């Protein structure tokens, strides 16, 4: 008999978590204006609000913290990190930043001007925020099939090459670069195929435009390429990553995801001019060019994390856990973006809460219901997160409306996944009795989901 699958690690340190009573959660949620970002973490039992900065570091990462070099300039920790990034990505210039959006801020300050167009697949909300706050336009050219959650495609994060070319023709002069997010978080943690990366690169060359990867989950993307794309089954994850990055001119990175650190990020590129410009902005916004908002010890942990998480076993353990949760949801026939993504399950909220109109935010309503049910915190990646159209100020309902259950790396066991699945089933079983959703009482101009105040209708 074949042995069953098990994690590629064992546990050395634990952190207690606590359950609460429904009556307590009702009070806490009211105080949080029905926005789960406003909850205290201690009032959460299983926290699936994000996989960002919430992973468990390895013993090797913790050990590396002790030998961090905290020199202001020229720290050995920076050079260790730079060397690892050079090796994995092939990019020679590396500029540290304190997290992913800081990398976006530094680089976009150099490259994005009012009236510009930045096409790609789905831009994450911070990326969109950094584009739109500069009065430029983020153009989502993801394949239409990504909108149909029940369609099983191996690479639902792909760019529609025809849509991209149309934008390149229409706005050629106004396009500073193309941005590809791997994996495509907003479309459901869906991967982009090597072939698609190659095609985007070819098109970019034709129109003389550089390509930037938003690389937060590039290792998970590489895992899917290995598992799903012809000719890659026998390649190592590191070989696949190296090839992926040959189709880009630079990257921004939130190291809080695939480098499994609690804080950190960077810009890496082969374009000297980008690096020279970014250095100046980096010093103003982040700090000197060999630490950019990070401690020496954090750069050490980042280097080790990046090396470990571009190994197959680590990624397999992680993604099999997402698949496990998906299989439990299949048992209960709960609809989610199929196939399961790399870092999260995205529940198709309008298909669950069929009686809640889109104007009352079904995914946010489902997020609230799941928290009330069992103290589990997911988050809305849907109509609230989509913000208003910058020109018309209308809500944007053209996207999917998901409840995202993001799974932190190496943090919870499959028993926790069972609790999540059953809690969701309990909500699912009473879905027809949920007829009203939420209304907005107050919202910020951009990235409103973090601070929005809501009312239960």
Q: Is 171 a catalytic residue?
A: no
Exactly one of 93, 124, 275, 291 is catalytic; which is it?
124
Q: Rank residues 100 and 339 by Cβ distance to ligand F0G and give the closer one.
A: 100
Exactly one of 128, 130, 256, 257 is catalytic; which is it?
257
| Tokens, residue 166 | 């149309």
Exactly one of 140, 214, 348, 387 is catalytic; which is it?
214
Residue 132 makes contact with ligand F0G by CB under 6 A: no
Q: Rank residues 274 and 428 by Cβ distance to ligand F0G and give the closer one.
A: 274
Q: Is 124 a catalytic residue?
A: yes
Which pairing describes strands 211-214 and 250-254: parallel, antiparallel, or unpaired? Answer: parallel
| Tokens, residue 115 | 């009236």
Q: Is 216 a catalytic residue?
A: yes
Q: Rank residues 214 and 360 by Cβ distance to ligand F0G and give the closer one.
A: 214
Q: At residue 231, what are phi and psi to the nearest 5 degrees?
A: 80, 0
By rule CB under 6 A, what string of x and - marks binding of each residue 166-205 to ligand F0G? Answer: ---------------x---x--------------------
CA distance 242 to 95: 19
Residue 124 makes contact with ligand F0G by CB under 6 A: yes
Q: Is 214 a catalytic residue?
A: yes
Among 33, 80, 101, 156, binds ligand F0G (CB under 6 A): 101
Candidates 97-105, 347-355, 364-372, 441-449: pick the segment binding ligand F0G (CB under 6 A).
Answer: 97-105
Residue 365 makes contact with ligand F0G by CB under 6 A: no
> Taking the complex as a whole, how short is the minimal distance between the CB of residue 257 and ligand F0G, in angstroms?
7
Exactly one of 216, 278, 326, 374 is catalytic; which is it?
216
Q: Is 125 a catalytic residue?
A: yes
Residue 128 makes contact with ligand F0G by CB under 6 A: no
Quote helix, strand, coil % in the chain, to nearest 5: 45, 15, 45
Segment holding 361, helix H or strand E: none
| Tokens, residue 277 | 């410009």
Residue 100 makes contact with ligand F0G by CB under 6 A: yes
Among 50, 89, 105, 364, binds ligand F0G (CB under 6 A): 50
User: Would you say 178 and 139 are in contact if contact means Cβ atoms under 8 Å apart?
Assistant: no
Q: Is 257 a catalytic residue?
A: yes
Taking CB atoms, the residue at the shortest distance from ligand F0G is 100
User: Would you say 190 and 148 are in contact if contact means Cβ atoms under 8 Å apart?
Assistant: no
Residue 229 makes contact with ligand F0G by CB under 6 A: no
SS3 category, 448:
helix
Q: Rank residues 259 and 434 by Cβ distance to ligand F0G and give the closer one.
A: 259
Q: Is 455 a catalytic residue?
A: no
Q: Rank residues 403 and 434 by Cβ distance to ligand F0G and give the closer one.
A: 403
| Tokens, residue 443 | 């919202």
- Binding residue count for ligand F0G, defined by CB under 6 A: 16
- What is the distance, to the nearest Å, from the Cα of residue 360 to the centroid of all Cα atoms in its chain? 25
Q: At residue 217, what are phi and psi to the nearest 5 degrees?
A: -125, 45
Q: How many residues does the chain have?
A: 457
SS3 category, 367:
helix
Long-range contacts of 391-394, Cβ-Cβ distance < 8 Å, separation of 24 or more: none
In a 13 Å sphere around the CA of 100, the CA atoms on its Cβ side amount to 26
Which pairing describes strands 376-377 and 344-348: parallel, antiparallel, or unpaired? Answer: unpaired
SS3 category, 431:
helix
Residue 216 makes contact with ligand F0G by CB under 6 A: yes
Residue 254 makes contact with ligand F0G by CB under 6 A: yes
| Nearest residue to 258 via CA among 298, 302, 297 | 302
Strands, E, within 227-332: which ranges?
A: 250-254, 265-269
Residue 265 makes contact with ligand F0G by CB under 6 A: yes
> Taking the complex as a whole, how short is the minimal distance between the CB of residue 216 and ligand F0G, in angstroms?
4
Exactly one of 116, 125, 249, 348 is catalytic; which is it?
125
> Taking the complex as a whole, how short is the minimal distance between the CB of residue 343 and ligand F0G, in angstroms?
8
Interface residues for ligand F0G in 394-453 (CB under 6 A)?
A: 406
Read off the DSSP letter of residue 358: G
Among 35, 52, 58, 193, binds ligand F0G (CB under 6 A): 52
Q: Rank residues 197 and 356 by Cβ distance to ligand F0G and give the closer one.
A: 197
One DSSP character per residue, 70-128 reads --SSS-HHHHHHHHHHHHHH---EEEEESSHHHHHHHHHHHH--TT-EEEESPPPHHHH
The residues that are catalytic are 72, 124-125, 214, 216, 257, 449
Applying CB under 6 A, the residues found at the interface with ligand F0G are: 50, 52, 99-101, 124, 126-127, 181, 185, 214, 216, 254, 256, 265, 406
């Amino acid at each position: 008999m074949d042995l069953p699958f098990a994690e590629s690690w064992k546990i050395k340190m634990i952190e207690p978590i606590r359950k609460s009573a429904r009556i307590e959660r009702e009070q806490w949620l009211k105080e949080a204006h029905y926005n789960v970002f406003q909850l205290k973490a201690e009032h959460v039992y299983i926290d699936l609000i994000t996989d960002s900065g919430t992973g468990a570091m390895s013993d090797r990462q913790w050990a590396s913290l002790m030998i961090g070099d905290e020199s202001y300039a020229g720290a050995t920790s920076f050079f260790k990190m730079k060397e690892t990034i050079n090796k994995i990505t092939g990019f020679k210039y590396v500029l540290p930043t304190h997290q992913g959006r800081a990398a976006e801020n530094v680089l976009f300050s150099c490259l994005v001007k009012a009236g510009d167009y930045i096409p790609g697949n789905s831009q994450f909300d911070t990326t969109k925020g950094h584009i739109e706050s500069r009065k430029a336009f983020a153009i989502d050219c993801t394949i239409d099939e990504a909108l149909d959650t029940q369609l099983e495609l191996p690479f639902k994060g792909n760019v529609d090459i025809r849509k991209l070319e149309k934008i390149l023709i229409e706005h050629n002069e106004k396009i500073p670069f193309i941005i590809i997010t791997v994996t495509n978080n907003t479309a459901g943690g869906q991967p982009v195929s090597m072939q698609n990366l190659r095609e985007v690169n070819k098109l970019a060359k034709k129109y003389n435009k550089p390509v930037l990867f938003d690389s937060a989950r590039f290792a998970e993307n590489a895992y899917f390429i290995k598992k799903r794309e012809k000719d890659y089954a026998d390649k190592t994850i590191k070989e696949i990553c190296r090839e992926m990055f040959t189709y880009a001119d630079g990257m921004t990175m939130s190291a809080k995801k695939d480098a499994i650190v609690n804080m950190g990020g960077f810009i890496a590129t082969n374009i000297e001019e980008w690096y020279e410009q970014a250095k100046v902005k980096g010093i103003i916004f982040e700090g000197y060019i060999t630490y950019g908002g990070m401690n020496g010890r954090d750069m050490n942990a980042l280097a080790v994390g990046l090396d470990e998480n571009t190994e197959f076993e680590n990624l397999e353990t992680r993604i099999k856990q997402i698949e496990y949760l998906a299989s439990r949801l299949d048992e209960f026939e709960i609809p989610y973006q199929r196939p399961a993504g790399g870092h999260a399950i995205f529940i198709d909220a309008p298909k669950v809460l069929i009686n809640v109109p889109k104007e009352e935010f079904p995914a946010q309503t489902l997020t609230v219901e799941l928290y009330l049910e069992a103290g589990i915190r997911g988050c809305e990646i849907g109509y609230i997160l989509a913000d208003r159209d910058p020109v018309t100020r209308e809500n944007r309902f053209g996207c999917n409306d998901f409840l995202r259950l993001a799974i932190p790396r190496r943090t919870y066991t499959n028993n926790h996944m069972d609790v999540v699945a059953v809690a969701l089933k309990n909500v699912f079983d009473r879905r027809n009795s949920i007829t009203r959703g939420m209304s907005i009482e107050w919202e910020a101009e951009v990235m409103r989901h973090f601070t929005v105040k809501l009312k239960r209708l």
